[in-house]
Structure 1
């Protein structure tokens, strides 16, 4: 891990090719939270592709408008959701409709990391 960043909504762990976000229990992720993700993208992944992995350990809500803003991050090439709960999986399928980036849903973190790394290695960013 390169860096662990803490925010009022949760934490973002920065790795070489991706970030892993863990949201706080009960939070609502809103479009303005994308400002923090844009800052992370510009600071740690300037002019190179990266992936975003949301590790859904906790229960929280997501405003679908978040994904419209997230789709505007040019060097974001992959979005992975890791969830083991049926409700979280159903929510992810709905959220997928709003994101204009490759999004896959996984039941474990290692599979998500492998998928993101594979997309980045084969990306013509």
Structure 2
């Protein structure tokens, strides 16, 4: 792990090629939270491909329109949602409408990390 950020809305962990978040119970993720992500990307992943993994162990809401801006991060290859809650499938289908990149749900972190490695391995386009 490269860095850890305990923020008022959750825990963010920065690794070499991914960001992992655990959002606090009852939070609604909005564009202002996305701005924090953009700052972290600029600091830790400038021109380097990475993935975002959210470990949804708490109940919280997401304004799906934030994905419109998140998808503009050129070096973000994909977004993994880790949750055993079957209701997350419906939530992810809604989120995918707003997100033009890879978005997938996993039951565990290990599976999400395998997918991350596959996406990174298959990525060959140079970043602008």
State TM-score, norm by structure 1. 0.95
Find the counterpart in structure 2 of residue 93 from structure 1.
93
Find the counterpart in structure 2 of residue 24 from structure 1.
24
RMSD: 1.0
Cα distance, 1:92 vs. partner? 1.5
Cα distance, 1:89 vs. partner? 2.7
Find the counterpart in structure 1 of residue 35 from structure 2.
35
Structure 2 unaligned residues grouped into runs of 5+: none
1:80 aligns with 2:70: no
CA contact (8 A) 1:17 1:51 kept: yes
The separation in 2 between residues aligned to 1:55 and 1:93, in whole angstroms, is 17
Find the counterpart in structure 1 of residue 11 from structure 2.
11
Per-residue deviation, residues 81-118 of structure 1 (Å, max 9, x unmatched):
11111222321221111101111111111000110121
SS at match of 1:96: helix
The separation in 2 between residues aligned to 1:65 and 1:73, in whole angstroms, is 14
Find the counterpart in structure 2 of residue 52 from structure 1.
52
State TM-score, norm by structure 2. 0.93
The separation in 2 between residues aligned to 1:73 and 1:23, in whole angstroms, is 20
User: Deviating runs (4+, > 3 A) in structure 1?
Assistant: none
Per-residue deviation, residues 17-42 of structure 1 (Å, max 9, x unmatched):
10111100000000121111111111
CA contact (8 A) 1:55 1:82 kept: yes
Cα distance, 1:8 vs. partner? 1.4
SS at match of 2:77: strand
The separation in 1 between residues aligned to 2:37 and 2:3, in whole angstroms, is 14
Cα distance, 1:2 vs. partner? 1.2
Report the count of equivalent residues.
125
Structure 1 unaligned residues grouped into runs of 5+: none
